[in-house]
Amino acid sequence: MASTVTILIVDDNPDFCSSLADIVHGLGWKSIICNSPEQAFGVLEKSSSLISLMLLDIEFSTSSLTGIDMLAQSVRAYPTIPVIMISGKGTIENAVRSTKLGAVNFIEKNVLSTDRLREVLLSTVDKVNGHRENQELLSIIHQQGIVGRSKAMASVADKILRFGKTDLNVLITGETGTGKKLVARALHAVSRRNKYTMVTVDIPNIPRELFQSELFGHVRGAFSGALENKKGLFHQANRGTLFLDEIGDLSPELQANLLLPIEERIVRRVGSVEPEQVDLRFVSATDKDLVEAMKEGEFREQLYHRLRECEVHLPSLEDRKEDIPLIIEHYLQDHNKRMEEQKGFAPAAIEYLQEHTWNGNVRELLSTIRVVLQTTSSVWIEVADLHRMITSPINGKNAQQIAASQGAGFEFSSDRSLKDDIAIVDKLKIESTLGTCKGNVSKAAAMLGISRETLHNKIRRYGINTHEYRSR
């Protein structure tokens, strides 16, 4: 952020813009006024480094783009610029959607006062100043392919830089697919050992009978087939980093073989009694709970304490969903560059991906993005394209089965017309789907195979309150 605070005001009402600018100037700051998203993007393209904060309206009579459209694009292209949404027609849906897409606040014009705006501006700028160091940290790890701007990832970045500069052994923990290998590479990249090799030991794929030979090497004649002296992975990583991936999968018997080499940095090749000194830094990773494994006798406590001089725990994607738009944009740019395409994701599609539960974390998200980008012919990825990839088709059930499975106590009646019965089942199905989607209309529309507009019309027709499902 520039030393002088500059607020970008984007609203199609010139008088309202002038009023906002007067408040900004009263704080001793500068302002830039734009009356359309297109004009604002032009300013950002030339002067994004000067902008401290953006005040953005939701509706524009002067543009085909809405404020939501601009928000979705700006948080991807200019992630360090916080956005406060301002709306003359504030709704809970707009507020929730804006927050999910990355807005730091949402203010309704009809309750906006000079004092309220001044309070929000001062608070936001203070937070941004406080996050400046975090942004620098995140920028450094971004170079290693670790994408995010959430508080959780700022903490990870801080640990990578602090621990990486030491020679302490680091244990990386977290669910599968959270990016533990990337963190290991980042730790090596910021260390004094980065001019030398980082060697990965893929623990689950080393045959038990070859474990010692693979790690410590062997001498000729040590066993049948040992025709010459061989250096192990410990030797190959000398002066660099040895990454023990999936260390939690190593059997307790084989764990004992690592105690002395890790403690004293001394190895003995299979078939030899001569000790060899190695200069190593150990980084390990696991998705298992090693503390629980120690209690059950499945992991040696001595080895745990040797490997865990420092720990970096990676949050699940569920705990940092605000990073999903940045992850999508990062992969999208890489895809477009490699494939020489100009594809993109609709704002509703990004929101859909944020709402989905990713049990496989970032790895599963990236796999889904990769497949949909390569198998969708259209340039613009919509919710329906993603829904086809993520979910299986609804299995065929007749209306009676659907109603019964929802516990609605519904029965066909000769006293009602076919049209009335269909309407009842239609409403039941919509209510059930909204419940599944926790009130997310975009996701529900995709699951039902209808447009968002059509679903909104049905919701109004049947008098369904979507807010009831969001609180469940």
417-469 pLDDT tens trace: 666 667 777 888 888 888 888 888 888 887 887 877 788 888 888 888 887 77
Which CATH number is correct for 6-133, 3.40.960.10, 3.30.9.10, 3.40.50.2300, 3.10.20.30? Answer: 3.40.50.2300
For the domain made up of 318-390, give the CATH fold.
Helicase, Ruva Protein; domain 3 (1.10.8)
Q: Is the pLDDT of residue 408 over 80?
A: no
Pick 320 or 447 by higher pLDDT: 320
Percent with pLDDT over 70 in the chain: 90
8 Å CB contact between 140 and 182: no
CATH assignment of 399-470, given 1.10.10.60, 3.40.50.720, 1.20.950.20, 3.40.50.300?
1.10.10.60
Question: Could you tell me the two tokens for 20?
Answer: 């906002």
pLDDT above 90 covers what percent of the chain? 48
Domain 6-133 identical in fold to domain 151-313:
yes
Comparing 126 with 116, the larger pLDDT belongs to 116
Q: What are the extents of the domains in the chain?
A: 6-133, 151-313, 318-390, 399-470
Between 171 and 329, the more confident residue is 171
Per-residue pLDDT for 161 more than 50? Answer: yes
* Long-range contacts of the stretch 191-195 (C-beta < 8 A, 24+): 191/164, 191/165, 191/241, 191/281, 192/165, 192/167, 193/239, 193/240, 193/241, 193/281
pTM for the model: 0.61
Round the average pLDDT of the chain to a whole number and report it.
Answer: 86
Alpha-carbon 361 to chain mean position: 8
pLDDT at 305: 96
What confidence tens digit (pLDDT) does each residue in 332-391 have?
999 999 999 999 999 889 988 998 889 899 999 999 999 899 888 899 999 888 887 776
Name the 3-class secondary structure at 378: coil
Angle between helices 347-355 and 383-390 (to 10 degrees): 30
Give the per-residue pLDDT at 415: 60
Q: Would you state the CATH architecture of domain 151-313?
A: 3-Layer(aba) Sandwich (3.40)
| pLDDT recorded at residue 391 | 63
Closest CA to 190 of 139, 235, 151: 139
